[in-house]
Amino acid sequence: MKLIKIKKKYITNIYINNSYKKICNFLNNKKYFLIFDYNIYILFFKFIKFNLKNYKFIILPYGENIKNINSLKIIWKYMIKNKINKNFITFIIGGGVIGDLVSYICSSYFRGIKFVLLPTSLLSQIDSSIGGKNAINFFSKNTLGIISCPKFIFINYLIIFYMKKKEFKDGYSEIIKYSLLNNKKFFFYLFKKKNIKKIIIRSCYIKSKIIAQDYNEINFRSVLNLGHTYAHCIENNKIKNFSHGESVSIGVIFVLFLSSFYYFFCNITIKKILNLFLKFNFFIKNKIKFSKKMINKIILDKKFDNKINYIIIRKIGFCIKKNLKKKILIMFLKKFYEI
């Protein structure tokens, strides 16, 4: 199968294929440093053993808990002791957590070394790997980080079928978000749920298109935060151990509730959006109790200055940024909890 290449100005090349064998076509390096997510180590090691020589590798545990300063110190120390330098190219093989953490490490080590992303979850393939946003958690989610893009991104869309159903579902929360942001036609295509390759290609293209217009997140790129402000609030408060995808779905549904007060939404439109979430087995009824601590976490979120900027839905395929006062947001949240 031919490689599918997605390229937008200022954005890293994204190659989409059903095999990892063609990666070597893009690499001229003789030295490789491989960083694996533990969950997919067994799947990848056999391939790499017979296709790469002169490599060093490290295996990291799975989960959001490793995105911290202690992990940075451990990996930096390993790299210095093993003489990893600018002659090496780093392969980051895993989901969004490993991608965020290690991309940040590579961007800061020796003022930046070359790295390649091989995202292995649906969520990381269509979202976290694109745009160069690398970060760790410090008091709140993704508070310390940098924007730095990899040499290229290589997506094997068949690897996602090794994932758990819950992880697969998490990716669809972001895919639904893209359809609400930028592409009404894509929104209705998702009801068919036919071709995962086409869905991944379209999702990658939509995100790349948005980022190309605002690489440094000065203004327009912030629309990608649709549903994420409330989602990060849920994750920061560790409410009922919701995954990122589940938190985003609740966040988007809250935005729909909020948007209906500012813009006219007929019942048919609301039902269509909710039915799409139901199709992928997401909750459409809020199961979280209101807490003032949650509001404080929202205000702490890195995307805010003195005002609370919320991304709301104008209509399917078009979203805008709205400034909200703290009192107004609390009022809407209380009403949302009463539903």
| CATH code for residues 4-162 | 3.40.50.1970
Look up residue 114 and give its amino acid.
Answer: K
Q: Which of 110, 200, 182 is nearest to 148 (CA)?
A: 110
pLDDT digits (tens, 9 = 90+) for 188-244: 999 987 789 999 999 999 999 888 888 877 778 888 989 888 887 777 766 567 788
Go through the chain and tell me how many residues it has. 339
Q: Which of 183, 187, 201, 140 is nearest to 17 (CA)?
A: 201
Name, in order, each residue with C-beta under 8 angstroms of 14's C-beta and a sequence gap of 6 or more.
5, 6, 7, 130, 152, 153, 155, 204, 208
What residues does CATH 3.40.50.1970 cover in the chain? Answer: 4-162
Which pLDDT belongs to residue 306?
56
pLDDT digits (tens, 9 = 90+) for 48-73: 655 667 788 899 988 888 999 999 99
- Residue 49 has a CB neighbour count (10 Å cut-off) of 10
What predicted TM-score, i.e. pTM, was given to this entire model?
Answer: 0.88
pLDDT digits (tens, 9 = 90+) for 287-320: 666 666 666 666 555 455 556 778 889 889 888 8
Which pLDDT belongs to residue 150?
92
Is the pLDDT at 40 greater than 70, yes or no?
yes
The C-alpha atoms of residue 213 and residue 131 are separated, in whole angstroms, by: 11
pLDDT classification of 1: cutoffs 50, 70, 90:
very low
Cβ–Cβ under 8 Å, residues 312 and 320: yes
DSSP bridge partners of 297: none
At the fourth CATH level, which superfamily is domain 165-338?
A: Dehydroquinate synthase-like - alpha domain (1.20.1090.10)
Which pLDDT belongs to residue 336?
77
Tokens matching residue 295: 């509001």
The C-alpha atoms of residue 198 and residue 195 are separated, in whole angstroms, by: 5
DSSP bridge partners of 60: 37
Is the pLDDT at 9 greater than 70, yes or no?
no
Of 155-164, 172-181, 292-301, minimum mean pLDDT range: 292-301
